[in-house]
Structure 1
Amino acid sequence: ALLCASLPSFAVALILIYAFAVILRLLPVAGYGDGDLRHLILPAISLSVFTMGTLVRLTHASVLEVMGQDYIRTAYAKGLNKLAVVLKHALRNALLPVVTVAGTQFGQLLGGAAIVETIFAWPGVGKLVVESIYARDYPIIQGFVLLAGLTFVLVNLGTDLLYAVIDPRIRLGAGAQGRGDDHA
């Protein structure tokens, strides 16, 4: 997981191309083919390796931290088996930091997609932006930055709304009511 979290997506893409397309000749180097999903494997892995490594490490650390809490010991004392304790109590409370990081890593996926699309010769928004940077086509660059910013804001809004689903103690629209911090 540490190695996955240390490699940027373009480096992973080049390593995967060399290993699976050049040496082993199992997958195509570039392009998107005639509906053949083999063209999707290398770009998808290239983009997901960094995020996957980071989220695995964070989930592991978060679950270990939660497993030491008093309510986990209480659940064991009530006779619940380990799977029920981990799934119902530990994992649910450990997911809050994981969801936060996953939401913020979406911006990196957008940036990584631009480079990975260029490496794998995929016609997409990322490749269009890279070509626009080379051609100094500022309206397209500005449009992409605006679209990426809006997407990032919407993903983080969705992340905040997901908090209420994961943790029932978090209520939407409650304001300062009931928290004791409404000093008049």
Structure 2
Amino acid sequence: MKLPRKRSSARETAKPPADRAKQAALQTGHLAESFVAHWLTAQGWTVLHQRWHCLYGELDVVATQPGTLAFVEVKARSKGNWDENGLLSITPQKQAKLWQAAQLFLAEHPHLADLPCRFDIALLSCKPVRSSVKGSITPNGEVLRTDSQLSLPLAIELGQPVVLDGYELTLQQYIVNAFSEF
């Protein structure tokens, strides 16, 4: 005798809210890191790595300019956040992990080890927006850009919002040498 197969309902196959929130946070983080990497490139930097993983965690962006190597920690937060756009989340413990990750990075890339190194922080505000038509203008006069335009020349300016992939991203602050250098 064959038993009927149980069909799964949409409710059973849908991801739990915690999984959806985690996935959305990852997507937002990756988008913010790509946004900052694009901005750094426009500033004359060469981005060597994004999301470089090791035992101690992740280096969001590793970039170089002649004579300097920067490890950039990217923090994207929504309006009304509790930690000053992510700045307070970079605790002494987080800084120690970034140092360890940077040391491992340099051990794996010895040709970069003689460059002066620094830790920078990019603070972004991020909020979801309704999908927009390419080139549409918001009520306050801002031009909306889509994610497909990120690969095109795009002037990202501090404090100026850019809409990408359903999010409005604003590079609020870029802190050079945010904490002790090597």
Bin of the TM-score, shorter chain as denominator length: under 0.3
Compute the TM-score of the two structures, normalised by the length of structure 1.
0.26
Q: Which has the larger radius of gyration?
A: 1
Decide which structure has greater strand share.
2
Compute the TM-score of the two structures, normalised by the length of structure 2.
0.26
Name the structure, 1 or 2, with higher relative contact order (CA <8 Å, separation 6+).
1
Decide which structure has greater helix share.
1
